[in-house]
Structure 1
Amino acid sequence: MGEGLVNEVSIIIPHFGDPRPTLSLVDSILAGKRESTKVEVIVVDDHSPEPLPALPKPCRVIRRPENGGFGAAVNTGLKVASCEVALVLNSDLTISRDFVRDFVHDAQRFGRAVVSPHVVNGQGRSQWAGRHRPTVRSQAVEWLALPGPIRRTRWWHEVVGHDTRCTAGAIRPVDWVMGACMAIPVEPVRKIGGWREERALVSSDGTYSKANEGVLRDEGEHS
């Protein structure tokens, strides 16, 4: 992400459906904004049935002409992002006041990389931000209607592709990262054509991109 500290970030929020979580996330971002950091917020309305209302500066709403899914929404935001670093956030995330500043600062330790923080759900359970490369086996097991106790075991999480080494405080190189929250270097991702938009491969739960196929590694990047 450059050789010096980056004090600017483009925040891309893919949006579809109920506007309330998105508006709440934008409020949290603006509440934590600092004068020393340039922040632009790009909300990509993925052709929701109810168009997202206009937002105050430095926010911008882009409404796609048709629904394309998570990957297409991220790519729409990347096309207009003006900063060196982009932070992709799920619209239903809950973040602390200083999260954007702290995460972008910490992510720079890893150079030009795709980076995700530790993510937990509303019950405080890890969402395994690091993921293994998807396989037919991992997808088949995930689709099985296994009992809840089995789905909470470390064995199940590993089989379906969750990298269980990625616990709170752990720093691990991984095959790919959870798409719900990730910092990415804008130009290298643009250079390889952005995120793959096939719905079978791209979701906010796990983002399988050209970057995750190793193209970014050829460019000196990593996830």
Structure 2
Amino acid sequence: MPLFTVVVPSFGRPAYLSDAIKTIFQQTVRDFEVIVVDDASPEPVEVDDARVRVVRLPVNSGPAAARNHGVAMSDSQYVALLDDDDRWHPERLAMALAAFGRAPIAICGQSPTGIRRLEGFVHDVVLDGLTPNPGATALRRSAWVPMDESYRAAEDLAWWLDLSESFAVATVSAQGLFVREHDGVRRGYGADKRITSSLRLLEERRGYFDMHPRAASFRWKRIGLMHDKLGQRDQARSAYLRSIRIRPTLASLAHYGRTFRG
């Protein structure tokens, strides 16, 4: 039984995948297995390393289904996730081990500054800001909660709500994940799909958002930013106004002022 299982969902990004796997095998913690779940890529994923197990799904099912499939195949004490276009610091798994003494879910930083520190039971605050990237998350195998496979985007937001209902979190305030910014393949979860999924989450988890206005305001802000990214200024204004009406602050008014004036 390995100490860790590293699950890597992948779709049509062989060059990025190669870099991601390279950073896994640079870990200072060496006791792990790697499962790459090929989410029905146009060209089947091939990894020229006998230490990596590649499993191909018959139809493209999205990152939630790919991660669920990989975890279901795992046989380890801990599970760590890494997207195929991101990379890890060599100490990333060591960071997780350091945090497991405090909680069954371990988070590392995903940016060099402004690391969000989540500690203990965080269900009431987890959606008040950016949720930890799956690649910055490791957990005890016994704490795994399957992701909702009906979400093709924002699946991590729904997952964090479900996960945080039952399990505590510990954060290591060091960057263990490096998120790659690129314009490559993002099948099924571009900005338009993330908007749709965020609106669905607001509706399906209305009870939670009614009780947590800070989370609702932040989600509408994120929807506004995504509309802005798509050049949809009217929709962006509308989303920003929803955010301000839910939780009006001087900072939010200043932040959105330029958009409203434009």
Asked whether the two chains share a fold, i.e. TM above 0.5, the reply is yes
Report the CA distance between 1:85 and its aligned residue: 0.4
Q: Is the 1:47–1:64 contact (alpha carbons within 8 Å) kept by the matching residues of 2? A: yes
Q: Percent identity of the aligned residues? A: 19
Shift of 1:129: 8.1
Compared CA separation, residues 15 and 86, structure 1 to 2 (3 A): same
Of residues 131, 138, 158, the one that matches 1:208 is 158
Partner of 1:137: none
Q: Which has the higher helix share?
A: 2
Aligned equivalents of 2:163 and 2:86: distance in 1?
28
What CA RMSD, in Å, does the superposition of the two structures yield over aligned residues?
A: 2.9
Counterpart residue identity of residue 104, structure 1: A
Q: Which of 56, 67, 75 pairs up with 1:74? A: 67
Distance 1:115 1:50, change over 3 A: same
Q: Where does residue 15 of structure 1 map in the other structure?
A: 10
**Equivalent position of 1:222 in the other structure:** 168
Q: Quick one: which of 79, 83, 90 aligns to 1:86? A: 79
- Aligned match for 1:31, one of 9, 26, 33: 26
Q: When the two structures are superposed, what TM-score results if normalisation uses the length of structure 2?
A: 0.54
CA separation of 1:32 and 1:195: change in aligned 2, threshold 3 A? same
- Tell which structure's C-alpha radius of gyration is larger: 2
Larger RCO, structures 1/2 (Cα 8 Å, 6+ apart): 1
Please name the residue that 1:162 is paired with. Answer: 129
Structural mapping, 1:1-223, within 5 Å: 8-32=3-27, 37-100=30-93, 102-112=94-104, 114-120=105-111, 124=112, 126=114, 132=125, 161-162=128-129, 177-189=132-144, 194-199=146-151, 202-203=154-155, 206-209=156-159, 212-213=161-162, 217=166, 221-223=167-169
Query: 1:7: how far off?
Result: 7.4
**Match of 2:25, SS?**
helix
C-alpha separation in 2, matches of 1:7 and 1:21: 25
Q: Secondary structure at the match of 1:183?
A: strand
Q: Return 5+ residue gaps in structure 2 as ranges.
A: 170-262
| Distance change >3 Å, CA 9–CA 216, structure 1 → 2 | farther
